[in-house]
Structure formats: C-alpha cells, structure tokens
Chains A and B, each alone.
Chain A
C-alpha cells in the first residue's frame, strides 16, 4: 500500500508542530487565559533536585530487611543471580514458649549485607523468602561517593523498612491474596 502523499507542503506542517509544542510549553493554560509565559508548568520535565517525582509504590528502589522475621535460611543468598547477599548467623537458645518448657534453638543473625553495587534489582530474594523478611521500597536516593559504601549492613537495611509502602488494592477481577506488610516489632 503506498504511503499517503502530504497535502500541505510537508515541511511547513513540521514547522507548525514544533511551533505548537513551543507554544504549549510556554503557555500551558492557553495564551488568552494566562498570557504570562509559564514554561516551568508547561514543560514535560521536572527540575530535580528541586522537585522530586514519586515513583510507583511497587518500584524496586531498595531492599529492606525485617530482622525479626529472618531465620537465616540462606534461600535469598542462594537464589540471588549475582550472589550479592552475605549472611552469617549463629545458633543461640531462646527462652521457652511456655514456662517449664525446653529452651528453643534459633538462628541469630550476625551479618546480613546486601551489596547494592552488584544487585540487579531483580527481586528474586524478596520473592523467595518464606518468612517475609525482605521487602521492596521505592526509595532511590542512596548514591554514594565510594563504591564500598554501597554495601548496606543489617542496621541500614532495617532503616529502609520505614519507607516500605503498604500493599495496594488490585484491579477488579484479580484473585490474588497477599499478606499485608507486618510492621509490629520492626525497628
């Protein structure tokens, strides 16, 4: 099928498109309603860092750790494609559940580091964790001057937990049930 031939001399129409875009940028409310140029409002860009756009709640910005839930099962460290999670734990005795019972042996975390210079932001660790200890947070402003500072340790990962958003509702027709983010006891 041959392409349609332009009716108005084509390049004049092209000039009109750019002129119209310039006009829409300078006068976003229309030239008559507000004749003062306001390009900051009409442009499609935001002036970061003066203005910051909020990413979507599901955006994969940074991973946060809820240390109370973690049992050092090592599933996340194993499944990471980059092997960027470093976990060390030791066994201790926790008090028995009821009086007169046996002390329980639990894993206590010594070290839980995520190296964000290697992290591919794939989310496999968050998905695979059986105890819901890892959560995604849309925070993205954690760039560092040194690469070594991109290794976030246990306490820093716990600090990200405040920024984890609650689960949003789904579109009608979805049958997914997700457990809400458990925040009790989190630091």
Chain B
C-alpha cells in the first residue's frame, strides 16, 4: 500500500462528505460509480459519473472529451479537399453524411450548384449512410439490453449497404466522395440493381428486428416509460433527429431546411411518436430506416442523366464570406459554419454536432432511474463519441 498524501486524504474526506449528503433519512452511504471511459455501454470513451443510492441514481454527470481530436483547429490548416477527408471521421458510422453539409456550405460560398445527377446521387449516398448508421443502432440497442443475437443480424445486413458504398466510392467507412461542385466519380455498371437488392435485405432485417426485439415483452418492459423526454425540455436542450421526433415534435431538416439535395422531389413522410420514451425512439428509428429504403428505391428509379461535376477550377480558392448549412444527419442535426477569407484553407470551421446536444440532456434525464435504465437511456439517445468530441 502506498502512503496517502495529504491531498488524497482531503479528497477522500470530501468524497465521503458528498456521499453522506445522499440519503440522510436512512443514514446510508451513497456510492459513486464511474461508468467509463472504458465501458461496453458507453459507445466509446464517454464517462458517466453516477452517484448511486443502492441501484437508484441520485445524480449523473457525463464527462466528455476523451476523444477530442481538435477538428476545428485542424481545419484551419487544411485545404478544402483535405478537410473533406478529415470530416468523414466525425460520425464514422454514417460517414458520407458528414461531408455533405461542409461541401454544401463551401458551394454556397462559391455560388456553385451541383448538376442534378450529382445532387441525386448525393442524396442517394446520404440515405445509404443513414441506413448503415441506424441499422447498427437497431442491433446495438438490443445488445445493450442483453439480447446477443440482433446485433449480428445488424452487422450482417449492414454489409450489403457498405459493399454498395464501397463499389461507388472505394471506401466502406470513409468514402471521401463529395467534391465542391459535384461528386468524384459516377456509378459503376450494375450498381442500381444491386442497391435495390440490398434494400430488400434491409427491409427483411427490419421485419426480423420487429419480431425479435420490438415484439418481445421483455424489451417493452425495459423501454416503455423509461427516459421520457417532454418536447419542450428536449427543444431547450437542443435535441435533434429521432430523439425529438419521438417526443412528438415534427421537425426534419430534410423537409424544413434549405439544402442542396432533392428531398422535395421524392414522396416520403416524417415519422413521429407521442410517448417520448426509449421505446418511441427505437420505433421512430425503425420506421425511418424503412422510409429510407423506400427513398433509396425512388432515387434509384428517378436518377437523371448528365454530368457529375460542375465547372470548378482545379485549385479551389473559396471567396471570402460565411455560410452555415445544417442537414438531417443520421444522428440528428449536423451543421458546418464555414468562415472563409479567400484562401486555399478555411479560416474557421465551427462544427455543430448532434450527439453533443443529445448527451447534454443526460444529467436531467438520469435522475432517479435505476442503473439498468442508464444503459437503456444512453442506448436509445444514440450518440457516437466522435460526434460528441470531434
């Protein structure tokens, strides 16, 4: 046993005093449990400092930043194509979706519009990223709750989508495909038919998950009524994406924001749920996956012919100005605020990520729940650490 320094002694006494404030009536001690940064349930290096009274949470604070990579500083010394490469790695499960708002902001500054075929394929790959991301969520929430099998189905059927992304872009996880003015390359022969076959498999997967997970009474018992987010509280905390739509707020940037993608030419609907609990968030994401497969089918059918790239100079110097573009990424609202001073590199890029705001509600949400419910709530909020910490 090493000797305890005075400082450690004081820290120990302070911790005991804090624990003693818990449960004064029964005069029992509370327990501070550190979940993470290495923990199977926290999707990465998130740390939740939970003060427990038995199995009930008195307070819980998330500690973020274990994966901070300094993106906003990195972008100040990288050219626009290099930033596109880096930005793939923020939300690494649906990584094409990260490039899009940045490219749209740069296109807005350069006053260039991508040709229609490029916009359609951009939307196609965006929805494929959404499917890849949310399919993993459907399996992952089940495994957090103890069902070992659905996550394997998720990875198995996600392979079809990743293979499609690979045959177009060359990379399964980091496509690096979006360019200012269009896309890097066009679709290889046979891709449309293969993608439609992959969508069939995703729809079968959704049905399997509905039988295996959503229909299970145990799953319902674990998720109904857990982690209810009232819509006004959710909006105050800046929640976005399926989290807020599950509380009944009908807000979807694909329909309500101005983007350079072709959602207004498709026939689709926004799914909402009134309960606002973990089950509602799972349900909304399941329906969104099905809706995304239908959108991909429509995009495959209606693809216009034409060039894939607008006339863009070889060395890209973006004129001075500021632009903010936010899109409905798989995790929520992701926005890039690009400030340019006419150089090869952006002057400042501020990245507004969805998971940062989604996690900020955990102190409010985790009071008074049981320890297993912490896991359920974190799983249903669905954040990616790269998205929180950048």
| A-to-B contact residues, CB < 8 Å | 1-3, 6, 8-11, 13-14, 16-18, 21, 44, 55-60, 79, 81, 120-124, 127-128, 136, 168-176, 178
CB distance from B85 to the nearest CB of A (A): 4
B residues within 8 A CB of A14? 211-213, 215-216
Q: Are A13's CB and B215's CB within 8 A?
A: yes
Q: Are A175's CB and B214's CB within 8 A?
A: no
Measured in the bound complex, the distance between the Cα atoms of B270 and A57 in whole Å is 37
Q: Flag whether B294 is at the interface (Cβ < 8 A).
A: no
| B-to-A contact residues, CB < 8 Å | 78-79, 81-82, 85-86, 117, 149, 153, 156, 159, 163, 166-171, 174, 176, 184-192, 208, 211-220, 272-275, 279-280, 283, 303-308
Among residues of B, the one whose C-beta sits closest to the C-beta of A136 is B170
Q: Are A1 and B191 CB-contacts (below 8 A) given A56-B163, A79-B79, A173-B304? A: no
Measured in the bound complex, the distance between the Cα atoms of B166 and A57 in whole Å is 9
Q: Are B85's CB and A56's CB within 8 A?
A: no
Interchain pairs with CB closer than 8 A, number: 124
Measured in the bound complex, the distance between the Cα atoms of B185 and A127 in whole Å is 11
Q: A56-B170, A174-B187 are in contact. List 7 more A-B contacts (CB 8 A).
A: A2-B274, A2-B275, A8-B215, A11-B215, A58-B188, A169-B188, A171-B186
Q: Are B189's CB and A169's CB within 8 A?
A: yes
Q: Are A9's CB and B217's CB within 8 A?
A: yes
Among B79, B156, B186, the residue within 8 A (CB) of A176 is B186
Measured in the bound complex, the distance between the Cα atoms of B79 and A59 in whole Å is 24
Measured in the bound complex, the distance between the Cα atoms of B305 and A172 in whole Å is 8
Measured in the bound complex, the distance between the Cα atoms of B308 and A128 in whole Å is 17
Among B82, B156, B185, B279, the residue within 8 A (CB) of A124 is B82
Among residues of B, the one whose C-beta sits closest to the C-beta of A80 is B82
Q: Are A59 and B166 CB-contacts (below 8 A) given A81-B85, A168-B188, A171-B192? A: yes
Q: Are A44 and B156 CB-contacts (below 8 A) given A13-B215, A14-B211? A: yes
Q: Are A173 and B166 CB-contacts (below 8 A) given A14-B213, A17-B212? A: no
Q: Are A123's CB and B176's CB within 8 A?
A: yes
A residues within 8 A CB of B272? 1
Q: Are B217's CB and A11's CB within 8 A?
A: yes
Q: Are B167's CB and A56's CB within 8 A?
A: yes
Measured in the bound complex, the distance between the Cα atoms of B28 and A100 in whole Å is 101
Q: Are B306's CB and A122's CB within 8 A?
A: no
Measured in the bound complex, the distance between the Cα atoms of B186 and A173 in whole Å is 10
